[in-house]
């Protein structure tokens, strides 16, 4: 391929696990209630993976839906990027499992880890491959099985998370006002202890308790998320104006209704132009934004020609945004 290419979003898909886990089901193991969870988070229920479901199995189904949505097959793909913090295995990469299941050619396939911002990092990497002319069709998947990484005795964190997968197909286009218009990515490793998920190779320092499950400093994460979301919205509005467009819809990381409300109050962004589904799915980390994006498109809330703002923030600490014209 030659010439000036951009990355158009031509297909989306998502897959949610079969088990619905309501707030009331936590009452048997921790001191909480449906009202306590709803008023503090906005979450009513979430999906947990069945024993047979994995990050790869959910990702495969989301990818198949995204391919079908744009009438492509695995054979049309040139690259697969999978964002996850809960892979099936340390190796092979979950992306390689997707490559096999989708019957792709021997295309490059790799995982990317940036926690809840992982999907936006993945979209940015895919965009570079397309803009340089290396790839024409790229699959980007965010998939998580967080239910296997949380401490169900910690009422401050276990109530927040759920499982799921979302996928998009990015395709090379020469249309000047379509596709990914801008990307902004950040990280602050100085505050990495605010959110941590251990792995098989995680070591314990002398005098410290071993980390067995996801650990999170909720108070600090809340302040960080509101601050960064406000900054990203302001910056995106300025970018959109320079591009001669406006933000039709905000699709944020689905983490906590209070965080979203605080950011909207500070920025003045209209609540009726925000896609929220955290009440049904909770925080699905890297899968959060693509699931919400897919639902917004399927429900007709985001249509072809609309410019949407994708925003995420999470462990690392990482945060980022992308302005995309559908």
Residue ranges covered by each domain of the chain: 6-173, 179-325
**Coil, strand or helix at 151:** coil
Q: What is the DSSP letter of 274?
A: B
In whole angstroms, give the CA distance from residue 99 to residue 296: 27
| 6-173 and 179-325 in the same fold | yes
Residue 3 pLDDT class (50, 70, 90 cuts): low
β-pair partners for 215:
196
Beta carbons of 59 and 94 less than 8 angstroms apart: yes
| pLDDT tens digits for range 213-235 | 888 888 899 999 999 999 999 99
| pLDDT tens digits for range 264-304 | 999 999 999 999 999 999 999 999 999 999 999 999 999 99
Q: Is 253 a catalytic residue?
A: yes
- The CATH number corresponding to 179-325 among 3.30.565.10, 3.30.465.10, 3.20.20.100, 3.40.47.10 equals 3.40.47.10
Q: Is 116 a catalytic residue?
A: yes
CATH class of 6-173: alpha beta
| pLDDT at site 300 | 96
Q: Which of 14, 82, 96, 116 is catalytic?
A: 116
Bridge-based pairing of strands 109-112 and 79-83 is parallel
Check whether 2 has a pLDDT greater than 70: no
Q: Is 234 a catalytic residue?
A: no
The residues, ordered by sequence, that sit 6+ positions from 306 with a Cβ below 8 Å of its Cβ are 248, 249, 325, 326
Check whether 96 has a pLDDT greater than 60: yes
Check whether 202 has a pLDDT greater than 90: no
| pLDDT tens digits for range 42-57 | 999 999 999 999 999 9
Note if the pTM is more than 0.85: yes
In whole angstroms, give the CA distance from residue 296 to residue 301: 5
In whole angstroms, give the CA distance from residue 276 to residue 137: 29
């Amino acid at each position: 391929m030659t010439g000036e290419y951009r990355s158009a979003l031509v297909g989306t898909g998502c897959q949610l696990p079969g088990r619905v886990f309501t707030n009331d089901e936590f009452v048997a193991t921790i001191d909480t209630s449906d009202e306590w969870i709803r008023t503090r988070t906005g979450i009513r229920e979430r999906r947990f993976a069945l024993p047979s479901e994995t990050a790869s199995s959910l990702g495969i189904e989301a990818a198949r839906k995204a391919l079908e949505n744009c009438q492509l097959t695995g054979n049309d793909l040139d690259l697969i990027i999978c964002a996850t913090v809960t892979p099936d295995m340390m190796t092979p990469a979950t992306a390689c499992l997707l490559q096999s299941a989708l019957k792709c050619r021997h295309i490059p396939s790799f995982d990317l880890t940036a926690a809840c911002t992982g999907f936006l990092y993945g979209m940015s990497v895919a965009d570079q491959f397309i803009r340089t002319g290396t790839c024409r069709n790229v699959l980007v998947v965010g998939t998580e099985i967080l239910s296997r990484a949380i401490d169900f005795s910690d009422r401050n964190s276990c109530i927040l998370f759920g499982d799921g997968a979302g996928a998009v197909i990015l395709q090379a286009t020469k249309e000047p006002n379509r596709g990914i218009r801008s990307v902004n990515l950040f990280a602050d490793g100085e505050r990495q202890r605010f959110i941590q998920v251990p792995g098989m190779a995680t070591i314990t320092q002398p005098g410290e308790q071993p980390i067995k499950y996801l650990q999170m400093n909720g108070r600090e994460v809340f302040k960080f998320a509101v601050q960064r979301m406000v900054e990203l919205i302001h910056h995106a509005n300025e970018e959109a104006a320079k591009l001669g467009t406006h933000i039709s819809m905000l699709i944020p990381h689905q983490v906590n209704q209070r965080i979203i409300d605080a950011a909207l109050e500070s920025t003045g962004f209209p609540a009726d132009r925000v896609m929220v589904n955290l009440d049904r799915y909770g925080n699905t980390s890297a899968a959060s934004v693509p699931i919400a994006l897919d639902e917004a498109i399927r429900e007709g809330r985001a249509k072809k020609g609309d410019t949407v703002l994708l925003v995420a923030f999470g462990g690392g600490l990482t945060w980022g945004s992308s302005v995309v014209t559908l």
